[in-house]
Every structure is written in structure tokens, then in C-alpha cells.
Structure 1
């Protein structure tokens, strides 16, 4: 492809992929398109085909889409991927008084430069409703095919980087050498591993007959990195919140390890050990002012349940039992999540009932032989929570 890539070319690819049910055909069409992108366009193209933008939602909802409808659309395609991305950058940067009007004006101007078909694609993309069958898993295989790399290697790099868009440019431009940059590194937070739901303890133990059960806390997921006396705390989205959590820093400085990457949960507990309400924990965790005052009245506790790195060893590919042993050897016992390893459903049920009795939301049920899968919602981690049902009435809707 010569010259800048048109949005129309990406829309054509998206449509053709959506028309075919065969996975191999989808991958081949996507890979062919990716090979024709310039290095500057790869991140944009991969994101759009995966159904997301590089900027996120940027405050764009149904009402803004409605208000940004142009008087007319162009007949001939002219918008390039770079131009769309630049406009979305401007929309994401709009803030303060008048920002809604600015976003509406910018989006309307973008729509006016698009054909009707392109505008429909952009609207679905911005609302997160793109359904062309080229989502993250398929895009990983397409990038691998376009770069002539093993899909497993691309998938692992994407997990570490937090998504395929972050990996695609280097994979296509530099091949295996580019992927080698996506190794586990201190102070580069990984996407957290996530759990699938189970109906109850019986269901969970049937799916994982020999399991480690852990309290499921209703707190804030944290990933903590330590190198010597330097400790930093990250949220599940990778934001650095070290300044808001001095208790966690102090706790991890006691670890018997030079370097660590730990996965855990921060939670505010009452003097009797019962948890504060989730919103109270989040208010404390998100507080950036008067931290010492809040620390005295509502201190944060932290419980760790996984270890991704210890000293010279990366542990994500090792079994969960091995990772927990490494963590146990490094941390004081009070920093470890309460845990039970069992194959007995009755023992698991008693552990679950005890967690609920202490005010926690349930338990996690984890396979002992499973690796850590950054960013994946894995069947080797199951969550069992008390079920609450609500009867709700819709009072209003924005369209």
C-alpha cells in the first residue's frame, strides 16, 4: 500500500472479516491488511480492528454521537487512519468548561469528513460495539501470521504488555527481536490475571478437584514491585499509587528478597478485623491528600496471593504452588492471604462459610499446577461469591 492508509481500507477489511465464519480466513485477511500498514499506522489499525481506540472512550457516549451528526457526509473516502487518531487525541484532551461542546464539534467535523459507512463504523468503534469478529485473541494470531512468528510467543508478549496493540508494531517491524523486549521487568506492571465465576463451592471443586482456596476480599487489586529499598504500588490498570499507600510500602520493605513482583489486594479493615465497605476502602486508597490523617483513622492492610518475580527468577510460567512457596519464603505471614489447600468439598465449604462470616465477599478457588496468565480470565482461577438479587426499575436512559 502506497501513501497513508485510508479508513475505508480498514472498514473494508473489517467487513470482509465479519462476513466469514472460518477462523483461518479471518486471520489471513487481517494479516494481509496488517502487512500493508506503515509502522506509524500499526498501533492504530490493530486497535481499531480489535474494537478499541488508543484513547479509550474519551467521554464519548450515545448522546455525544447523536449531537455530533453532521449535516452531510462526503461521497468519496478521504479520511486516513492517522487523521482519525489525531482527532481522537484532541477529543480525549478536551477538558474543563466547554469540553462537551469541544468534543461535539471535533467529532462532528470528523464525521463530516467520513462517508456514511465510515461514520457508522466509527460510531460503533467509539461506543465499544464493534462486532466484526476480529477481537483480541484473533488479532494476536493475525499479528503472528503477518510477522511470521509463533502465535504463542506473540500471545505471551501481549499478556505482559497488557494488549496486542502494544506489541504489534515491534512484532511487525523487528520480528522476534522486537518481541524480546516484552520480558517481565521491574516497575513495568503486568496485566493482572482474572478469574471466571463458579456457581458455588460444589461447582468450583468439581472443576478444580485439588485446589487452593483463598479469601476473596472486596478491596483494591494491587501489584507491588520491589527493588532493594525502592517499592512502588500499582493499580490493576497500571497506575502508580505509591504515594497513597505508605502502609503497603512499609510492609513490603520487610520482605526477605532483593526484588519482587507481588499480586495482592489492599483493603481497609476495622479494629476487629472486619472489612470496611468497598467504597470506604476505595476512598482511602484513592486519597492523595492528608494521607497521614487517613492512615491513622483508616489504615490500609495488604494481603498478597501471588508472586510473579523473586530476585533473579521470573515465576509466571511456574505452577501456582511453586509461586506461593516463593512468596511464603519472602514475606511475613501476616501479609499472606489466608489459604487452604484441599480436595474435600466439605472443607472448602467450611472455609467459604468462614470467609463470609468475617465479612468478606467469598473465596477464590485456584489450580495448584496453573501458570500465571497476565491479562487472561482463566478457568484455573474461579471465584465463588455470595449471590445477591435485586429487583430494579429503569427510570431513565440516555440514547
Structure 2
């Protein structure tokens, strides 16, 4: 297949806001090509993952475009694979030459696509959810089967390739110790009584203000992953040592880790996250708290009810189980919430004891209860400060995720809650992501997720989504989350006053 067909489909997908139209265009291309690399390209990453092409190196390329399309998908995929393999003395120059050779064979439209692909700016709207629906449509298999296979394989291209051979190939994917699965997520609840009433027989657990981790152990081999499935094993030796000492041969645990003060209170979230990049691991020790067990000694537990997974968890994790209470009364659940808040945590999570582990899904079987409204939004722009903040990027432009794959939808601005330290940090980070600048506003690549506390949401014609945040203030940046995990415009609209639940969005 010619690469230009991928570029044309990308443009068509980006030109429509209709999810059905996006899915249809993508499915048609997948059906015609059957090449896994196409799936990677259209969700905005090379099939090899990050290949080390520097943002400035790519944007500085000035190569006359080819007069007509001749590149195939295989040509491009092979060239990017070869680029990623270049190393050793003189590799920088050889890498530039390899890119120049590829770009010389590309038309102007193909060059533009390649630049956005390599710099992470490919915003054609083919987010994972849209692409999974397209794969299911192209292969004529149930969407749920495709989504489950993806959560277990961790690879969209591999999932697509399996889907095109039939449903049996998708069913062959299993939990593999050492390969992370997408974490199950909690939906917001309006109140603790509402969550208890909806969930039924439940466990109520502390919602810790830490970093999500997933640990895998096979014999003496232990691997630790973040919520984005990034491996951080080498930076957390104390967690590795602890898991290696658990009474089992193999296990997969889901939980949180956080740094504690001497009196057992959680340290600020940023301090916990800083450990994943620390050079001296003695700087700050992390404490793990596990709340789920997905595998134990050869037995996969994903499809078991939570009550069975909790039995396995208590058997293997002992004192490292997150605090909580099984089958509490309303008063007992309220006491758990009070205890969590008094301990410095965010609230509680109410979980159905009948629920299977829905990897990667935000369902109603797990519901989080927090005392304040928060949203995880994407920074899409920022204004220069004035007065004491002159020379610093201050007033943030905030966007909610479009669930149909479009660019983030602006819902408000804020400069409140920013410390001097955070102002200096965000100025550096946002300038490094700038795509346009004028005297007042800097537009940035929508990469950074920020947690915003707010008093509510109101109808407003000022922003494209028709809603605006009320009294928004910064809680913290979320380096553990990518833009695909930000709250959607639907979650923002759910906070509008009126009949029906107005859920508290954001968080875990």
C-alpha cells in the first residue's frame, strides 16, 4: 500500500468530528492493508515506539519534497526501524542523513505527516478507543473481544494483526507475568451513600495520594510499572526487595506507592513521583499499598470476582494491603472516609465485590468519593504573567479530552494555586513545548496533564465546549498521566447543576 493512502485517511479522520465517520474511514484502510504499522501510524506513533528523533532535528529538516507519491507503508516502516537502530560514533550525523533520505522520497503532504508523527504532534483524531472500534469493524469481530485482547497484549498493532485473522487469535491473548496490563480505573461518585447504593455488596478503601504501580514477580525476577505501563524497576529497589520477599512464586499486584513522613502522613505527590527519576534511591523511600491481585502462583484472577482477588491479596501481601473495610454499613463506610481524610489521603474508593478486573476501563463497579471536585485537564496554552510574574508563563489555558478523538476542548483558564517554584518549572516545560508564540499567549503541544480543583461548572458560550470552570485552581501537575487519560468534555459537562448525578471527575 502507498503511504499516501495513510496520509489521506489521516486527513479525512482529522476533518470530521463524527466518531462513526472516523471509525469507518480507519476500518476501510485497515481492511485494505492488513499492515500493523498502519495502525501505529494512525494513532500517532511509529511501530517501533519512540525512535529517538529529536523534535528540533525533525523540524529543522529542509528537504525538497518529491513530485509524486512513491513511498509504501513498508518503505516508511523499514526506514524508521533502520533509523532507530543507528548508534555508535558519528550516529547523530548518520541519523540526520537517514531522515533526509526518507524525506526526499516523500511528497509535501507526506513530509508534514512524518514530521508530526516523529514529534508527537499527529492529532488526526485516531485515539486508542476510536482505533479499537475501527479494528473491530474491519475484522468483523466484537468490540469487547478486541478491547480485552488489547489490554492484555499492550500493543495495538499486535491486536489488529490478531483481529484480522479471527476471533480465536484475539482470545489467545492471556495475562503474562512480566507484561503489564492497563489498570482498571474508578468512576466519580456524587456521594458515599450513592456509591454504596449503586455498587451493592462492597469494600471501601482509602484512596491514597500516591503513584499507581503494578508489580510482577516470576521467581526472583521482579518488575515494577507505572500506571502508563512505563517500567521503573531500577529506580525502586526497596519495592523490588519487598515483593521478592512475599510468600509466593509468581504474582501480579495492583496498588499505589507513596513517600511518607516520619508520622506516617503522605508526602506531596511530586515528591513521590520524583523518586522514579532519582539517581540516589536513598533520597526518599517508598511504601507500597496493594489493593488487587491479578495473578497468584500460576492462577490468573482477572475474571474472578473481587472478593476472590482480595482473598488472594490478603494471603500474599499481608500488612501491605491498602486500609479499608469489607461489607461496611453506611456508618462504617463514613468512618473509613473520615479516617482516610484524617490520614492526609484523597478520599475512598467503593468497589463491588462481584466485579471482575476490567483492565483499562473506567466503569461503575469502582467509584471514587472525594470531598472536592477535581478534573485532570490538558494544558493547551498559557499567557505571560504581569507584575510579580512578569517573564513567567502564568495563566493556563485548560482543555478537556474529546472522547471522539478530536483536539482538546478548551473549558477555562487559571493562574491560581501556582507557587513560585511551579511557575518557574512550568515556564521551562511549556516553552519547550511551544508551537506558536505572540506577545501575550504561547500555544503548546497538548502533552501535560494538570489536576484542577474547582467549585463547579457553568454553561458558557465563551468556550467551544459550551461550559466553563468556576473558581478553578491548580492542585498539581500529573506526570503519571498522559493526555489520553485526561477527563473528557463529557465529564466536565456532568458537573453542570441540574437533575441527575453531577459526578466528581478526575483522579485515579
Shared fold by TM > 0.5? yes
- Determine whether 1:8 maps to 2:4: yes
Distance change (3 Å), C-alpha of 1:314 and 1:284: same
The higher relative CO (CA closer than 8 Å, separation ≥ 6) is in 1
Match of 2:45 in 1: 52
Match of 2:295 in 1: 309
1:279-304 C-alpha deviation (Å, 9 max, x unpaired): 44345455576x6xx2xx74432111
Comparing 176-185 with 59-68, greater Cα deviation is found at 59-68
Q: By how many angstroms is 1:268 displaced?
A: 2.9
Distance change (3 Å), C-alpha of 1:98 and 1:341: farther
2:76 to 74, 77, 84: 84
Q: By how many angstroms is 1:156 displaced?
A: 0.9
Contact 2:149–2:170 (8 Å) recurs in 1: yes
1:324 to 306, 310, 313: 310
Distance change (3 Å), C-alpha of 1:82 and 1:255: same
Q: By how many angstroms is 1:390 displaced?
A: 4.8
Comparing 183-192 with 217-226, greater Cα deviation is found at 217-226
Match of 1:337 in 2: 322
Q: How does 1:388-399 map to 2 (within 5 A)?
A: 390-391=415-416, 397=431, 398-399=434-435
Q: By how many angstroms is 1:307 displaced?
A: 1.0
Q: How does 1:217-228 map to 2 (within 5 A)?
A: 217-227=208-218
SS at match of 1:308: strand
Distance change (3 Å), C-alpha of 1:230 and 1:20: same
* Whole-angstrom CA distance in 2 between matches of 1:219 and 1:101: 42
Q: By how many angstroms is 1:220 displaced?
A: 3.5
Distance change (3 Å), C-alpha of 1:200 and 1:93: farther
1:235 to 219, 225, 242: 225
Comparing 297-306 with 87-96, greater Cα deviation is found at 87-96
1:313-342 C-alpha deviation (Å, 9 max, x unpaired): 32212333332233123331x110011356
Aligned residues: 383
Contact 1:124–1:130 (8 Å) recurs in 2: yes
Match of 1:272 in 2: 263
Match of 2:354 in 1: 369
- Determine whether 1:381 maps to 2:366: yes
Q: By how many angstroms is 1:261 displaced?
A: 1.4
SS at match of 1:302: strand
Match of 1:30 in 2: 26
1:260 to 251, 254, 258: 251
- Tell me, which stretches of 5 or more residues in structure 1 are unaligned? none
TM-score, structure 2 normalization: 0.62
Q: By how many angstroms is 1:119 displaced?
A: 2.8
Contact 1:274–1:358 (8 Å) recurs in 2: yes
Q: By how many angstroms is 1:45 displaced?
A: 0.4
* Whole-angstrom CA distance in 1 between matches of 2:85 and 2:191: 45
Q: Which has the higher helix share?
A: 1
Q: By how many angstroms is 1:165 displaced?
A: 1.9
Q: By how many angstroms is 1:180 displaced?
A: 4.2
Distance change (3 Å), C-alpha of 1:134 and 1:342: same
1:198-239 C-alpha deviation (Å, 9 max, x unpaired): 677578668757653322334343222334x43513212445
Match of 2:153 in 1: 161
* Whole-angstrom CA distance in 2 between matches of 1:138 and 1:337: 35
SS at match of 1:317: coil
Q: Which has the higher strand share?
A: 2
Contact 2:222–2:244 (8 Å) recurs in 1: no
**Aligned CA-pair RMSD:** 4.0
